[in-house]
Amino acid sequence: MRIKLNKILFLSIISIVLTFTSCTTKSEHIAITINSHEKIVIDSSKIYKEPFRPQFHFSPEKKWMNDPNGMVYYKGVYHLFYQYYPEDIVWGPMHWGHASSKDLINWEHKKIALFPDKLGLIFSGSAVVDIKNTSGLGTLENPPMVAVFTYHNMDGEKSGRKDFQTQGLAYSLDEGDTWQKYNGNPIIKNSAQKDFRDPKVFWNPETNLWNLVLVAGNHAQFFTSENLINWEFQSDFGQNTGAHGGVWECPDLFKLQVADSQEEKWVLLISINPGSPNGGSGTQYFIGEFDGENFKTNQKDIKWIDNGADNYAGVTYNNTPDNKRIFIGWMSNWIYARDTPTKTWRSAMTLPRELSLVKINNDYVLKSTAVNQLKSQLKQEYSHKNITLKPNKKVELNYPNFNQSEIDFTTEDKDLKLIFSNEAKDSLTIEYNAKQKTFSIDRRHSGIVNFEESFGKQIHKTAVPNIVSNTINYQIIMDWSSIEIFLDGGIYSFTEQIFPNKPYTILTMLSNENQEVKAFSLSYIKGIWNKS
């Protein structure tokens, strides 16, 4: 049975349609047509309307971008710095690009913050606001914003030296608009350690000192300072702990309170490339204790902050309101980052996510959920309290553009398959297997996949043992070239790039047993660049 409804009559009679169809035995499927209340316009002649351009994720106005850097909140503004090459859409001599936002959703492009100099390229790092002016680089009335980053000396690397990466400092006295390099750079020299980089700095109120964590090849190192300039090495961590399929990168360290308890734990993020479960780049995390000098953990298994293929080098904001722990990752993978089918720009960031810590079956789990500010961009197109799925029947929803939408619903803990497709015969399949406790994403036929041999080669399957409730919530957020899935309230998250030839217009829902899809909601997500 195929039912086409105009948008005026749709909401008033949809419940009748669903009730009727679920009772019939002759119908092979039901089809619901949802007419968008927004005009879908794709104009490739305008900036931010190019093919695959994210409409509500941050991406550079033009050219190449990778890791997020220097994420700090100050005076009502979230600052996002990032690895940037302004001359090409492939990786080149690294600068720090800069953008700012008042709500983590709508972004304003700023001028380049940091340029390479005689000490090297500007690799990843972090930023803080030196409120007490411990550095002496500002005043108590006008405290400096301080960036600590890695210098990468290309000539030193080419000559075969191992000390070609050092740590530098820059500061701003106008809230991040302009920057001055510190005259005494580098502030942390290198004793011949290859891959000595990516410093994350934060103020530790428990010790009244600055802490810095960076990575040195296959492990992390911890430092302390009274003034952000003179640093003292304290300890190493990780040579024989965690995943070691590739070099360690982009560390972060912070404390979280465990939900529904007074217990607090420290969380250490470490990105690794290669060595992730889906190949290439991924970010692992460790739960443990930190006394200001040493990080320790009893964790035996390897935990990943995201189980998709495209969330890497993510770190969290310093100085956020209400001490919320806000995370942003680079939405790509080094296997194919240079090859994705975009023309004037390359790469985007994940949606900002709030991190929290829960305990499931006596195990600590890091949850991630899209920040609440995203709700301001949603315009609900369709909702229904209850959709019945039956074996060998399918529910088909038709909508002009699933690639700019949020879908939210709750099901029983039973098998479920969702297929997004279009008239170009592209299809993206996500599937939950209740008996095996696995969740998979199949983008092998999702659109353009042949730009790199591994991109569309395999199904990405993840074990999900922490799904322990009788019901599961699905939040699915799709942009023009990405899908982000938050399963069971963010117990698991999955981020993947996709490049459909045309927007997905059909969602097919299937189950091999009777089950109810409850509180189904489909919302259009307003664009942030051209008010689309």
CATH code assigned at 327: 2.115.10.20
Q: Are residues 163 and 269 in the same domain?
A: yes
Instruction: Return contacts of 207-210, CB within 8 angstroms, 24+ apart.
Output: 207/292, 209/292, 210/128, 210/134
3-class secondary-structure state, position 332 = coil
In a domain, residue 485? The reply is yes
- My answer on whether omega of the bond before 68 falls inside 30° of 0, hence cis, is no
Pair 384, 454 in one domain: yes
Question: Has residue 367 been placed in a domain?
Answer: no
What is the number of other CB atoms lying within 10 angstroms of the CB of residue 30?
A: 22
User: Are 254 and 123 found together in one domain?
Assistant: yes
Q: Which residue has the tokens 């995943």?
A: 243
Q: Among residues 154, 294, 289, 174, which one has the least CA distance to residue 233? A: 294
Tally of CA atoms within 13 A in the half-sphere of 176 that contains its CB: 27
Q: Does a cis peptide bond (omega within 30 degrees of 0) precede residue 503?
A: no
- What backbone phi and psi angles, to 5 degrees, belong to 163? -100, 35
What pLDDT does 65 receive?
98
Residue 423 lies in a domain: yes
Least Cα distance to 47 among 32, 35, 63, 31 occurs for: 63
Contact at 8 Å (CB) between 267 and 257? no
Among 67, 130, 198, 488, the one annotated catalytic: 67
> CA 144 to CA 164: how far, in whole Å?
28
Q: What is the DSSP letter of 288?
A: E
Question: For 520, how many CA atoms within 13 A lie in the half-sphere containing its CB?
Answer: 19
Residues 411, 277 share a domain: no
In a structure prediction context, what are the per-residue pLDDT tens digits for the chain, which is 532 residues long? 232 333 333 333 333 333 323 333 333 567 888 876 554 444 444 679 999 999 999 999 999 999 999 999 999 999 999 999 999 999 999 999 999 999 999 999 999 999 999 999 999 999 999 999 999 999 999 999 999 999 999 999 999 999 999 999 999 999 999 999 999 999 999 989 999 999 999 999 999 999 999 999 999 999 999 999 999 999 999 999 999 999 999 999 999 999 999 999 999 999 999 999 999 999 999 999 999 999 999 999 999 999 999 999 999 999 999 999 999 999 999 999 999 999 999 999 999 999 999 999 999 999 999 999 999 999 999 999 999 999 989 999 999 999 999 999 999 999 999 999 999 999 999 999 999 999 999 999 999 999 999 999 999 999 999 999 999 999 999 999 999 999 999 999 999 999 999 999 999 999 999 999 999 999 999 999 975 4
* Structural domain includes residue 368: no
Residue 14's contacts (CB-CB under 8 Å, 6 or more residues apart) are 5, 32, 382, 384
SS3 372: helix
User: Rounded to an integer, what distance in angstroms lies between the CA atom of residue 206 and that of residue 291?
Assistant: 9
Q: From the CB of residue 322, how many other CB atoms can be counted at a distance below 10 Å?
A: 4
21 plus 116 within the same structural domain: no
Instruction: Give the C-alpha separation, 240 to 300, whole Å.
Output: 11
- Amino acid identity, residue 510? L
In a domain, residue 531? The reply is no
Q: Tell me whether residue 117 is one of the annotated catalytic residues.
A: no
**Residue 44 CB partners (closer than 8 Å, separation 6+):** 50, 51
Same domain, 307 and 406: no
Three-state secondary structure string covering 214-260: EEECCCEEEEEECCCCCEEEEEEECCCCCCCCCEEEEEEEEEEEECC
Residue 425 sits in a domain whose CATH number is 2.60.120.560
Boundary residue ending a domain (333, 350, 367): 350
Say whether both 329 and 397 belong to one domain. no
Q: Could you give the number of structural domains in the chain?
A: 2
| Residue 52, domain member (yes or no) | no
* Residue 441 domain boundaries: 2-42+378-525
8 A C-beta contact, residue 150 and residue 178: no
Q: What is the pLDDT of residue 530?
A: 75
The answer to whether residues 408 and 343 belong to one domain is no
φ and ψ at 18, to 5 degrees?
A: -65, -40
Report if residue 18 sits inside a domain.
yes
Per this entry, what is the length of the chain?
532
Is 300 among the domain residues? Answer: yes
Contacts of 240 (CB under 8 A, 6+ apart): none
Same domain for 145 and 247, yes or no, is yes
Indicate whether this model's pTM tops 0.85.
yes
Q: Distances in Å between the alpha carbon of 210 and those of 325, 366, 407, 498? A: 18, 25, 42, 41
Residue 121 and residue 34 in one domain: no
Identify whether residues 72 and 37 lie together within a single domain: no
Q: Which residues 6+ apart lie within 8 Å of 526 measured at CB?
A: 38, 56, 377, 378, 379, 532
Same domain, 27 and 130: no
Q: Which of 350, 369, 386 is the last residue of a domain?
A: 350
